[in-house]
Amino acid sequence: MSFKPEMKNLLNTIETLVGGISLLESEKNYPIQDEDQNEVPKLSWSKLNSFMSCPLKYHWAHELKLKGPPSKPLKVGILVHEVIENLTRHPSKSLNNESLRKEFEQVLLSNVNQLPILANEDIEAMLIWLSNWIKREIELQQSTEITHIEEKIDFEFGEVFFTGKIDRVERDSTGSVTLVDFKTSKKASKPGSSPSNAQLILYDHAWSQIHGTLPDYVAYDFVRINERVTIEINPTIVQRELSNLLGPLSNLISGDTDSNPGFHCSWCDFKSICPDKK
């Protein structure tokens, strides 16, 4: 099996830091394949956001396909999203702490052998978050229709093809449409308050491309802290925030792989091998 020069250079760098590396097992389970030259590559918000955080991290994770260590925050986020998605498909009259525990146990069982292993206090904390969310959800569903769950979207931005999923789309009694993204962050933030918070603004653009009109609102629902942050959408906001993404997108396309050391290095998957980490 042959490797591209950039892969060889990276492996040499890693071996100087951690010693010799055997790729036999990874070759067997994760064979490196040449990309289909006829396939149109697609970006996602998570990839673009990873690049904006650090081009080198993006290069290692999404171009060289390196895997970082298991992440507890990532696993918690995946579990909470899955429970909410499943519960949302239930009629509101069946939403209660009993149905929550049953659904939560089923989701845990389906992920039981996946690292990292969660402690009992992690599990109990998630149950508390979700119990508070259910109380809000029951009240919300009295006046709001959930029209889409995990809605897949394919769209174009900056002459690049993107793909993604909208966690949920809601329509209230007045007909107003809200795109919702569930978060398990410790702190609340406003959609569009910075380029790293522009996910739902980008999805506004996608919704308009697909449906011919912008949604009325976007909302981050912070399950951990039991708070929802909603902003009203108009074309000026969308154009202003999307313009902030064009520079990073252009740099990504041009192949920028420079590191971007900063506070985010502390939770980077590749901090153990990065020569520029802070």
Average pLDDT in the chain: 86
pLDDT at 29 > cutoff 90? no
pLDDT tens profile 141-172: 899 999 999 999 999 999 899 999 999 999 99
The answer to whether the CB of 251 falls within 8 A of the CB of 271 is no
241 and 156, same structural domain? yes
179 and 242, same structural domain? yes
pLDDT at 225 > cutoff 80? yes
The answer to whether the CB of 217 falls within 8 A of the CB of 231 is yes
224 and 159, same structural domain? yes
157 and 85, same structural domain? no
84 and 136, same structural domain? yes
**Calpha distance 253→248 (Å, rounded):** 9
In the sheet with 144-157, reading across from the earlier edge strand, the strands are 144-157, 160-172, 177-183, 217-222, 227-232
The residue-averaged pLDDT of 197-201 equals 95
H or E element at residue 6: helix 5-18
The residue-averaged pLDDT of 226-237 equals 97
pLDDT at 1 > cutoff 60? no
More confidently predicted of 194 and 6: 194
- The residue from 140, 170, 192 where one domain ends is 140
The domain tally of the chain equals: 2
The residue-averaged pLDDT of 73-94 equals 86
Tell me what pLDDT residue 30 has.
38
pLDDT band at 8 (very low <50, low <70, confident <90, very high): low
The residue-averaged pLDDT of 217-232 equals 97
Q: Is residue 29 part of a domain?
A: no
User: Would you say how long the chain is, in residues?
Assistant: 278
125 and 92, same structural domain? yes
153 and 80, same structural domain? no
pLDDT at 234 > cutoff 60? yes
230 and 163, same structural domain? yes
Q: Which of 23-37, 103-117, 213-227 is predicted most confidently?
A: 213-227
The residue-averaged pLDDT of 205-231 equals 97
Tell me what pLDDT residue 34 has.
46
Q: Is residue 203 part of a domain?
A: yes
Q: What's the domain range around 95?
A: 72-140
135 and 184, same structural domain? no
Q: Is residue 156 part of a domain?
A: yes
242 and 201, same structural domain? yes
pLDDT at 227 > cutoff 60? yes
The residue-averaged pLDDT of 237-262 equals 94
Q: Is residue 105 part of a domain?
A: yes
160 and 224, same structural domain? yes
What Cα–Cα distance (Å) separates residue 121 from each residue in 101, 116, 117, 125, 225?
15, 14, 12, 6, 16
pLDDT at 179 > cutoff 60? yes
Q: Is residue 111 part of a domain?
A: yes
pLDDT tens profile 40-69: 468 999 999 999 999 999 999 999 999 877
pLDDT at 209 > cutoff 80? yes
CATH value at residue 173: 3.90.320.10
Q: Is residue 199 part of a domain?
A: yes
103 and 130, same structural domain? yes
More confidently predicted of 257 and 91: 257
Q: Is residue 277 part of a domain?
A: no
The residue-averaged pLDDT of 88-114 equals 84
Q: Is residue 187 part of a domain?
A: yes
More confidently predicted of 7 and 229: 229
pLDDT at 21 > cutoff 60? no
Burial class from Cβ neighbours inside 10 Å (0-12, 13-18, 19+) for residue 236 reads: exposed
